[in-house]
Amino acid sequence: MSSKVIHALYKDDDLLMQAVKQTREAKYHIEEVYTPFPVHGLDKAMGLAPTRLAITSFLYGCVGLTVAITMMNYIMIEDWPQDIGGKPSFSYIENMPAFVPIMFELTVFFAAHLMVITFFMRSKLWPFKQAENPDVRTTDDHFLMEVDTTGHNVEELSKFLSNTGAVEVSLIDKHN
């Protein structure tokens, strides 16, 4: 299945932000925006929902903390209790102050590593994946806004995008 989209190229991030706002006000659907660097506020201007990655990070930290507590209880209390520095190893609660650094480190370790994996999976960044960048100039100094043409007059949409400050507007047949 293929659909037609319009690629509008901009040379300035402030101009892009204004164009995104004008395009949304005109009720056109923005498929994607490609930028050479993160543009502050672009996600809000595009109307994207807030990310839920912070929730997953918290859950991964809880998993790490649980693994740390379970591991230390089994290793240091149940399996092979040792008298280290005169500290009794008969209960987890008595030894918990000594275990705090391990709990902290495993919480951070699990949150960080599982977040990287989650980010790559969510972004569909697999090893050896081909780049999906539609124009190589967006990796250097241009900004590209991809607008869906479904149900709209292509000439009118192209003229609208040119009036928003686009330096180049082109119709592209996008294959899904």
Do the beta carbons of residue 34 and residue 133 sit within 8 Å? Answer: yes
DSSP code per residue over 68-81: HHHHHIIIIIII--
Distances (CA, A) of 162 to 108, 141, 166, 169: 48, 19, 5, 7
Which pLDDT score is estimated for 16? 95
CATH of domain 2-36+141-175: 3.30.70.120
List the chain pLDDT tens, one digit each, 176 residues: 458 899 999 999 999 999 999 999 999 999 999 999 999 999 999 999 988 889 999 999 999 999 999 999 998 888 887 777 776 667 888 888 888 999 999 999 999 999 999 999 988 888 888 888 888 888 889 999 999 998 888 899 999 999 999 999 999 887 65
The domain segmentation of the chain, as residue ranges, is 2-36+141-175, 53-122
pTM over 0.75: no
Nearest to 152 by CA among 34, 45, 26: 26
pLDDT recorded at residue 1:
47
Taking a C-beta distance cutoff of 8 angstroms, is the pair 10, 141 a contact?
A: no
Token pair of 29, please? 């659907």
Phi, psi of 29 (to 5 degrees): -95, 120
